[in-house]
A = this chain, B = another copy of it.
Amino acid sequence: MGGKWKLLILFHLHHFAKKSYSDFKANLPGISEKMLSQQLKELERDKLIAKNQLSVKPNRVEYFLTARGQSLGPLYEFISKWGIDYLMENNIDYIKDQHLYK
Please tell me which one of the listed residues B2, B75, B82 contacts residue A79 in the complex, with CB atoms under 8 A apart: B75
Q: A74-B78, A75-B75, A75-B78 are in contact. List 6 more A-B contacts (CB 8 A).
A: A2-B2, A71-B82, A72-B82, A75-B79, A75-B82, A78-B78
Q: How many residues of A contact B (CB 8 A)?
A: 8
Interchain Cβ contacts under 8 Å between A and B, 9 examples: A2-B2, A71-B82, A72-B82, A74-B78, A75-B75, A75-B78, A75-B79, A75-B82, A78-B78
Interface of A is mostly: helix
Question: What are the nearest 9 A-B pairs in CB distance?
Answer: A2-B2, A75-B78, A74-B78, A72-B82, A78-B78, A71-B82, A75-B79, A75-B75, A75-B82
